Amino acid sequence: MSKHTKVAVVTGAARGIGRAVAETLARDGAAVVIADLPTSDGEATAAALRSQGHAAAFVAADVRTDADAMVAAAFNSFGGLDILVNNAGIFYTVDALNTPFGEWMRAVEVIYHGAFLCSRAAAQVMVERGTGGRIVNVSSINAFLGLLQSSHYNTAKGAVDQLTRCLAVEWAPYGILVNGVAPGYVDTPMSIVDGVNELESEEFQEIYVRRRRIPLARAAQPQEIAEVVAFLASDRCTYMTGHTIVVDGGLTVTF
């Protein structure tokens, strides 16, 4: 097993962007705790990393209730915690007029409350150790755009962006840098909404690809988001905090 230089916890890391982030951080020399729900492919992701010679462990955890367990897993497995990537999220459509409030709130609890609870748990140990650290929040271009049947998700992502700014200011004296990444369309399992892969739809192909509403005329691959996360989590990022980098192929600069 490789000798690691940093220890990272990545939430929602069993698949999609989270898995790509875990793989990229491991490639860069970090020991990685894969945090995801127990019904996920988290253990398989950790095992795949270990088979490649990386230090990796899986912890079955819900970001709404198990933030302390994730931090404990990092210490128990690898002796510390230097990086937290808040990636866990869910998406489903809602009717803001009629959907029960509890169902509307579920996305907010996972995306926003989960990011706060995990950030606080990580920062407490970073402050106690006096070594600083990096927290990276995976947001979305939905944080600053309107979208039909997405008031729950967009509101939660907007709150994550504000959380990034506020925690960056509050925790700067402790050497903790807090930044975010806002992807646009990414080719992940979350692209499948209500059983349909939106990236394969005729609407997406016509508007975003052929008409180049996305100037680069394609969705991102998870690795392309992970590379930006890895920079923000690294020692190469030293004078940037409180900002969210948009990685969307140029989508939000068109009209």
Residues marked active site are found at 153
CA atoms of 241 and 43, how far apart (whole Å) = 32
User: How far, in Å, CA of 57 to CA of 60, rounded?
Assistant: 10
Strand partners of residue 36? 60
The Cα 181–Cα 149 span in angstroms is 23
Q: What span, in angstroms and rounded, lies between the C-alpha atoms of 25 and 230? A: 6
Q: Do β-strands 176-183 and 30-36 pair in parallel, antiparallel, or remain unpaired?
A: unpaired
**Token digits of residue 31:** 């020991």
